[in-house]
Chains A and B, each alone.
Chain A
Amino acid sequence: MPKPSDSDDTRIKRSTFLKGLIGLAIAGGTGKFLYDRYNTLAHVPVRLLGPSMDFGHMVRDGSLKLDPNAPVSKKVKVLIIGGGIAGLSAGWWLKKEGIEDFMLLELEGKTGGNSASGENRVSAYPRGAHYIPLANAESTYVRMLFQELGIIETVDATGIATYNDLYLCHDPEERLFKDGSFQEGLVPNRGLRPEEKAEIERFFKVIVDYRNRRGSDGKPAFAIPLDLSSRDEEFLALDKMSMEQWLKQNNFSARPLLWYVDYCTRDDYGAKPADVSAWAGIHYFAGRRGRAANAEQNAVVTWPQGNGFVVQKLTEKLASHITTDACVFHIESKADAVRTAYIDRKSRKTFLIEADHLIFACPRFILPRVLKQDASKKSIDLDYVKEVVYPPWMVANITLRSLPPARGIARAWDNVCYLSDSLGYVVATHQNISTRLSSPTVITYYYPLADRRPDNGRMALYRADPEDWKESIVEDLMRMHPTIDRYIESIELWPWGHGMVSPGLGYIWGDTRQKLLQDLDRIVFAHSDMSGISNFEESQYRGVEAAIKVKAQLS
């Protein structure tokens, strides 16, 4: 059967083909152009930094060895290992006491530890600790330091301090993104049912009660530093249950309240209420009694670089004693001295220091890796170190062309999203006194990996591609700021494999911490993990207390 002529329909003519190609090219070009324009995120550079891992691993697997014939490079009276707040505070106190013959070794290129900070052309910014609450009356070392650094300007006859206005966190301090817009403060207060509201009020009543309670020993129920707290059984019993259990026991079940408490334990301890002791959970709220003549009770002090400000001030004071890039891998406690070896990370040279006394101001999990036991003696059991838990954190510093818009009240220093796994962000330029309308800024985003066991968290922390981190962080931020992706200039990721210590059940008032508090011959310890709660006040307390002990042994 003859087919109808269909050559025109089925065969593609050359000209049609060419036109098609051109059409495709145009379409493709516009498509790509549009994609690039709207997928602005793809171009945002992301840098993965963080505490150095290379030498840490060498210390851990024992590949760094000290030559038994190595000569002693230096002899000092006191050697401090670790330049975090605890180590720096130990040095600060020694110097105050007139002891100059000491050295401080810090693994990183800069001091600071968990209170480290960074800086770019826009602003300085924190990489960890970012604020300190007003000091309690009993936090004497903190008050002393604050006065020395001009953070506290004057103290009146009744002991009430006037703080430097430029350091007190400017208003608005905190806002919470809930139900589609920002509300003032972090305690949910919008869209609550009456019974939820009542429960939140009841919770704070209980807290205020605890804040003002004293034990039968006359000490405050919850003090800062926590070692000054009452040992009354009534309060210590709280350490044996989890915050979650305590909430249940006291019939707290309103979702907004449970969220708020969950936020707080993640914020201060990097862990969920189920994994934090009730004593620690309540301490967060009931411990703070600091007052100022010129601020409200819950005020805090903060700086663009966070607690890096204090680190810098202390570092300036101790400059001549500090050696950075010094990775300690060997500690030997002898009858007459402590021998410590470190490798200079830059020159890769090893140095051996002999000290009369050692202040070990590193997290305790490092100790078994560096302490060389004397084979002739009964070995010291360091197994308790495994009980100390350090949840991992991701901190991201995000440089923005300006703060993106959001619904609700004006931008605050601390910005949190209801029901998010992260803790939101703080604004580094919040304390600026400049009047620019919209200027570039850096925001610091905090994300504790609190929903899994710390070692699993650490794997997740390091395994994920920086690009994936970028995407999930921006996605989270977009809940508060739908257009933030268009404001981002760059992102710096700072993973903390071992963040701050978290106070699990029975940690603070149980056996483990007792073991952490004990000296080891000529070694005295100083680190916030000895408190079980990691914050500026505890770290400083541990540092100063260690220095006081050493001073007593010296004379």
Chain B
Amino acid sequence: MTWALLITAFVISTCGLIYELIAGTVASYLLGDSVTQFSTIIGVYLFFMGVGSFLSKYVEKNIILTFVQVELLVGLVGGSSATILFFMFEYVENFRILLYSLVGIIGVLIGIEIPLLMRILKGQLEFKDLVSKVFTFDYVGALLASLVFPLVLVPYLGLVRSSFLFGIFNVLVAIWTLHLFRKEIPWLNSMRTIAFTLVVGLTLGFAFSEKLVKMAETTSYHEHIIYSKSSPYQRIVITGGKRFKLFLNGNLQFNSQDEYRYHEALIHPALGSLPEAKKVLILGGGDGMAAREILKYPQVESITLVDLDPALTNLFSKQKLFIELNQDSLNSPRVKVINKDAFVWLRHCKQKFDLVVVDFPDPSNFSLGKLYTDTFYRQVKKVVNPDSLVVIQSTSPYFARNSFWCVVSTLESVGFKTIPYHAYVPSFGDWGYIIAWEGGASDSAGFQFGHHYPSGLKYVSKDSVASMLDFPADMKPSVREVNKLNNQSLVHLFEAEWDEYAETF
């Protein structure tokens, strides 16, 4: 019996420390700044353990029953703690209150346990033996927990599952205690029923935790999430309130506050030079913002928008908030939305367009990198006339200058002439675009901006465009490569450049 109880001490302390570590890790994930999170959580936890120990003296009757009840509660609260934290992050106003309350509750309960256990063991051991043994097991348990947590639990089980697992251990201790003292405990049967129900509940939590984790993953954005959805193509997340941001796969696509700068700079320098433009093609741009800018030109008769993700185009053609922002462009009779893969669609396209707008996410992975290759631009070439223009968003010439100029070189390698330019968009930083055109052999004069802009633009004007054309020395490239399907130079450059940038901050 004594040994059984000492092992109990061991399990309890392991579980306790694990919950603390889980809370610390979850808090660092969600709130950042792990030093602060871990120190405040350890502090709060230890303090409340003290509170628990203090309270234990008010337990006078039914010590064993109380011990079992506390154990069950720890199992329930501790076991579901990671899940609660991940889930509630989106919904509670002040996440820290929830966090510290949970840590506090677990602290109090664990704080009660050890003194109670010592009192249970009192009759069986001499005092000095009792203290030495209980604390030995307590501390060994702590050592085990602190080793197992980073080496085994986090990598193999993850936080949510680990927390359920240790909740189950706690409840098993309770069941074991019930068994050891089955003759002395009142309400034996109802306690047993509760304990078994808890085991089943926690086990189910453990089994389905993967789904839970998935649902909780969206919480890594710093702002309130107002919409999130995983389509087969990407993960769409929108955060904010009145002003909002769109993220695709975690990368910011626009901020409603300054997206007009990005989209005006994307469209007007090119389209303002094409007074005869009738047919426009947008590749990507499922948010309808580029279409909104294009619709300001009465001469444009039709816009074909090819974006692979119906989830995105539906969102921006049906939801009030977004329709307000894109001025219902996707429902305009002049706009035709096609949900196809741009590369595949282009290969079968037989039409010609006066303006092609290429607005894809940055080349942050190998499948997106394919949309910036010479092979892709050769397909683009098939759908333009000699006097058509193409405009391409091409990442930041400041943060990723070699990447930006790699897009320029790639366009030139397939015979396009290019005019690179850049605009300042506060949410993104300095952002780059390229106007490209085929230009026949006769066209040696090059390209002239027409500056036929619609009224009401907030950013693009004759003067601002002039400044967009200037590239200072810190935006000039150090290497020039052509991006091909079989070298994916751009993705390699892009990764290296953004990594470097991320490291310095």
Contacts and interface: CB of A to CB of B under 8 A. Distances in A.
Interface stretch (A246-254, A435-443, A473-481): A435-443
Nearest to B197: A26
Contact of B343 (A170, A410, A434): A434
Interface in B353-376: 365-368, 370-371, 373-376
A160 to B, nearest CB: 16
B496 interface: no
Majority secondary structure, A binding face: loop
A213 to B, nearest CB: 28
B196 interface: yes
Given A170-B485, A171-B485, A437 B367 contact: yes
Nearest to B204: A30
Interface in B405-451: none
Contacts of B235: 437
Contact of A410 (B203, B207, B308, B365): B365
B341 interface: yes
Contact of B341 (A26, A169, A434): A434
Given A30-B200, A168-B486, A410 B233 contact: no
B151 interface: no
Interface in B322-374: 341-344, 365-368, 370-371, 373-374
Contacts of B249: 437
A166 B374 CA distance: 11
Interface string A419-443: 0000000000000011111110000
Contact of B370 (A23, A168, A411, A433): A433
B485 A23 contact: no
A212 interface: no
Given A30-B203, A434-B344, A435-B343, A172 B373 contact: no
B233 A172 contact: no
A436 B232 contact: yes
A33 B233 CA distance: 32
Contacts of B365: 410
A34 B232 CA distance: 28
Contacts of A294: 484, 486
Nearest to B232: A436
B487 interface: yes
B485 A168 contact: yes
B163 interface: no
Interface string B52-93: 000000000000000000000000000000000000000000
Nearest to A184: B492
A37 interface: yes
B366 A171 contact: yes
B367 A165 contact: no
Nearest to A171: B488
A436 B374 CA distance: 20
B304 interface: no
For chain A, the bracket of interface size reads 20 to 34
Nearest to A36: B207
B488 A435 contact: no
Nearest to A163: B486
A295 interface: yes
A433 B200 contact: no
A395 interface: no
A294 B368 CA distance: 21
A37 B203 CA distance: 12
A264 interface: no
Nearest to A430: B366
Contact of A435 (B233, B375, B486): B233
A310 interface: no
Contacts of B370: 170, 433, 435
Interface in A199-244: none
Contacts of A411: 366
A326 interface: no
Interface string B463-505: 0000000000000000000001111100000000000000000
A26 B195 CA distance: 13
Interface in A27-74: 30, 33-34, 37
Contacts of A410: 365-366
A137 B415 CA distance: 29
Given A169-B486, A171-B486, A299-B486, A435 B367 contact: yes
Contacts of B371: 435
A435 B367 CA distance: 5
B196 A165 contact: no
A26 B484 contact: no
A404 to B, nearest CB: 14
Contacts of A434: 308, 341, 343-344, 367
B375 A34 contact: no
Contact of A37 (B207, B308, B341, B487): B207
B200 A166 contact: no
15 contacts: A23-B196, A30-B204, A34-B203, A166-B375, A168-B486, A172-B366, A173-B486, A295-B486, A296-B487, A410-B365, A411-B366, A433-B376, A434-B341, A434-B343, A435-B308
Query: Which 9 interchain pairs have the tightest Cβ spacing?
Result: A171-B488, A165-B375, A433-B343, A168-B486, A434-B341, A170-B485, A435-B367, A171-B487, A165-B485
Interface of A: 23, 26, 30, 33-34, 37, 165-166, 168-173, 294-296, 299, 410-411, 433-439
Given A170-B486, A433-B376, A436-B232, 10 more contacts: A26-B196, A165-B484, A166-B485, A169-B486, A295-B486, A410-B365, A433-B344, A435-B341, A437-B232, A437-B233
